[in-house]
Chains A and B, each alone.
Chain A
Amino acid sequence: MKREQPNDWKKYLIVFLITLFIFATAFYVSNNLNNDKLEEIRKIEDSIAIDILSLETQFDLFEQLSCDNITDSILSKELGELASRIEYGEKNFDSLSEELVGLKKYYSLLQIKDFLLMQKVRERCDLNIESIIYFYGREDCDDCRKQGYVLTDVRQDFPELRVYSFDYYLDVSAIEAIKSIYKINEDLPALIINGKTYKGFQDRAEIEEIMPELAKIREQREAIEAAKIKAEEDEKSMSLEKSNTEEKTQETKNVTEQQ
């Protein structure tokens, strides 16, 4: 019996081309979206660079710049935001990894600049700027991952804390310099707090113990918040009193008018 041949080679070919087209589109769209993300990282880096440069310039212009001008707002807050993006990119942008390494190096340098500048600001203006330098290893370093969680957690509670994270294996000479100054070796994770090196995983309690300043910050913040709440309450009770008085006056007025 002759088998029916319902399918000719053309159909096989057309379906192949359609599948190829779908794959090409998927790769094209994915590449575009990932490039957009890299562009986003680049933009944030540029904005941080401008922040740092402007602060440096202010320092240079006025040797005796009034410390009043240096508020928290001038300090770049985008560093932390950038860290999570670069970390994500490292894990997910397979095809763009080379570009990402470049961005990461740039980011590391920006962090070092920020760190130095913050030290200057701290010395001169006696500001409460606390910082932690954190060295992490490769993905198989479980303690590094945990340390990352702890630092993110601490930073959430203390946004004024500046955490500078460095990839131990990133090939940047400035990082090498920090490594040799603070004697950082492959025993990771490692933290540098107030000029002292701490090796191995440090949990939240240990970090707070090393940095009593954090407790002070919390106390200050609580005091400010308490004052704020008190002020609000005062304002409320005052306005309540005021409206009561107004109501009474109105009533008296009404009674007088009726009479």
Chain B
Amino acid sequence: MHKITTILFYILGFISIYVQIFFLITFFEKRKTIQYRKEKIKLERYPTITVAVPCWNEQNTVEKTLNSLLELDYPKDKITIIAVDDGSTDETWEVLKKFENHPNIKILKKENGGKHTAVNYAIENSDSEFISCLDADSFVEPETLKRMMTYFLKDENTMAVAPSILIKDPKTMTQTLQQVEYNWAVFMKKVLGMLGGIYVTPGPFSIFRRKVFTDLGLFRKAHNTEDMEIAFRMQKNHYKIDQCNDAYVYTTGPKNIIALYKQRLRWIYGFTMNTYDYRKILFKKEYGFFSLISVPAGFVSMVAVPYILGLLMFQIVKGVIKLVEKYQTVGFDFNFGWSFNMPNFDMFFVNTNAYVITGIILYLLVMSTIVIGKRMITGKYRFDFRIIYFMLVFSFIAPFWVVKAMYNAVFAKKTAWR
């Protein structure tokens, strides 16, 4: 490899390994505090909560979303669902009207103004102690709300709790890919929560105390990543965000690579721009882990993961091109296939350079965190071969959206929601 490429590889590799080890050590330190509740629980108190469901052209999924909310195991007089039609152009409003007379559901309609305006509209029309939001393509499990609520009841300083987000019935290859990735995210978010470093309270069913909005204001547009901006704002004001690993919310992942690409472009662009907007709180001890490691490392890993994995892919592609070139030059050696007249496997030609070894270590660390993430969901340690599939495919496609998002950020090109 070229010298500069190698040096950059080692720097990024060092930071990535540092962060992974930091996370693993934190996990092992505090693993006994992690709960895996399977049984139904009862709360000592059931605070009031409003769930905002912003809808924009969600005629196909919104009914299921609302039904999943109605099935939440929570006293009906304590929960209000406010579905806001954000100027849909399809049949969303007609679907919502079916729930018009439901005692727990309020339906509202407004002109299209973006997701954050729809959620804000719901917040303004509510008076509950807690506020949550559920995208109209996501679904909750009956126990989810209670499990999350325990975090607020246990610690009055907890201002927001994020759930574990999983992919709903992965059907396509792209969705399977995300399923593995989301397992990884469960681990990362849990540890970030332990360290006070969460930088996103995801749209699907994060719960906030009303105090957050009365003290800090409502959601902002924030480069189409309002769920990230609110987390940054909370961290800036020292508001505690936690993660509840055994509260599950299912979301519909993008079905194909193009849709996934667009989603990631929006996330990475949003993360980059929010980091820029909040640059003043970076690398300051008073903001703790969030400012010292979480955001900077998130930023570095955004570059490092595709760089390291992409470099590996580049080597493989280069090898394949050489192989093709060889066969174009001398043709196929037909002896090769059937007589097993292959050159013997020779350890000499196995690449034993330091960058390969550090790359393998990083891969193993990431794999183990995915396995632990899966354990946080299922309660069992099990290696899933899809992890390998995930890492291979991600190596190939992740560099594209990172580079494009960076380009957009630098040249101030906005990313679209869909």
> Does B218 sit at the interface, judged by CB under 8 A?
no
Q: Using CB atoms, name the residue of chain A closest to B288.
A: A3
Checking A14, A22, A94 against B1 with a beta-carbon cut-off of 8 angstroms, the contacting residue is A94
Q: Complex: how many Å from CA A60 to CA B268?
A: 76
Q: How many residues of A contact B (CB 8 A)?
A: 39
Q: Using CB atoms, name the residue of chain A closest to B238.
A: A3
> Does A212 sit at the interface, judged by CB under 8 A?
no
Q: How many residues of B contact A (CB 8 A)?
A: 38
Residue contact A94 to B353, C-beta cutoff 8 Å: yes
> Does B104 sit at the interface, judged by CB under 8 A?
no
Residue contact A149 to B330, C-beta cutoff 8 Å: yes
Inside 8 A of B340's CB, which chain A residues have their CB? none
By CB atoms of chain B within 10 A, which of A7, A14, A88 has the most? A7
Residue contact A29 to B357, C-beta cutoff 8 Å: yes
Q: Using CB atoms, name the residue of chain A closest to B327.
A: A149
> Does A2 sit at the interface, judged by CB under 8 A?
yes
Residue contact A34 to B353, C-beta cutoff 8 Å: yes
Residue contact B195 to A7, C-beta cutoff 8 Å: yes
Checking A2, A26, A203 against B238 with a beta-carbon cut-off of 8 angstroms, the contacting residue is A2
Residue contact B18 to A16, C-beta cutoff 8 Å: yes
Checking A27, A31, A88, A145 against B349 with a beta-carbon cut-off of 8 angstroms, the contacting residue is A88
Q: How far is the CB of A41 from chain B (nearest CB, A)?
A: 9
The A/B interface has a contact count, at CB < 8 Å, of 91
Q: Using CB atoms, name the residue of chain B closest to A5.
A: B288
Residue contact A88 to B1, C-beta cutoff 8 Å: no
Residue contact B21 to A19, C-beta cutoff 8 Å: yes
Interface string of B338-359 (1 = CB under 8 A from A): 0000000000110111101110
Q: Complex: how many Å from CA A94 to CA B22?
A: 31
> Does B157 sit at the interface, judged by CB under 8 A?
yes
Inside 8 A of A15's CB, which chain B residues have their CB? 18, 21-22, 25
Checking B14, B287, B325 against A23 with a beta-carbon cut-off of 8 angstroms, the contacting residue is B14
User: Which parts of A137-157 form the interface with B (CB within 8 Å)?
Assistant: 145-146, 149-150, 152-153, 156
Q: Complex: how many Å from CA A22 to CA B1?
A: 21
> Does A208 sit at the interface, judged by CB under 8 A?
no
Q: How far is the CB of B10 from chain A (nearest CB, A)?
A: 8
Q: Complex: how many Å from CA A97 to CA B238?
A: 53
> Does A171 sit at the interface, judged by CB under 8 A?
no
Q: How far is the CB of A68 from chain B (nearest CB, A)?
A: 32
> Does A102 sit at the interface, judged by CB under 8 A?
no
Inside 8 A of B322's CB, which chain A residues have their CB? 145
Residue contact A37 to B348, C-beta cutoff 8 Å: yes
Residue contact A19 to B196, C-beta cutoff 8 Å: no
Inside 8 A of A19's CB, which chain B residues have their CB? 14, 17-18, 21
Q: Using CB atoms, name the residue of chain B closest to A143.
A: B329
> Does A40 sit at the interface, judged by CB under 8 A?
yes
By CB atoms of chain A within 10 A, which of B10, B17, B26, B322 has the most? B17
Inside 8 A of A120's CB, which chain B residues have their CB? none
Inside 8 A of A94's CB, which chain B residues have their CB? 1, 6, 353
> Does A18 sit at the interface, judged by CB under 8 A?
yes
User: Which parts of A79-107 form the interface with B (CB within 8 Å)?
Assistant: 85, 88, 92-94
> Does A47 sit at the interface, judged by CB under 8 A?
no
Q: Complex: how many Å from CA A40 to CA B349?
A: 12
Q: How far is the CB of A225 from chain B (nearest CB, A)?
A: 15
- Rank and list the top 6 A-B pairs by shortest CB-CB distance, nearest first: A33-B352, A30-B354, A153-B330, A26-B357, A3-B238, A19-B18
Taking A14-B25, A19-B17, A92-B353 as known contacts, 11 extra A-B pairs with beta carbons closer than 8 A to each other, sorted by chain A number, are A1-B239, A3-B288, A4-B196, A4-B288, A15-B25, A26-B354, A26-B358, A145-B325, A146-B325, A146-B329, A156-B333
Name B residues whose Cβ lies closer than 8 Å to a Cβ of A. Answer: 1, 6, 10, 14, 17-18, 21-22, 25-26, 157, 194-196, 237-240, 286-289, 322, 325-326, 329-330, 333, 348-349, 351-354, 356-358, 361
A–B pairs, 18, beta carbons within 8 Å: A1-B237, A3-B196, A4-B240, A4-B288, A5-B288, A6-B196, A6-B288, A12-B22, A14-B25, A23-B14, A26-B354, A33-B352, A37-B348, A85-B348, A88-B348, A145-B322, A145-B325, A156-B333
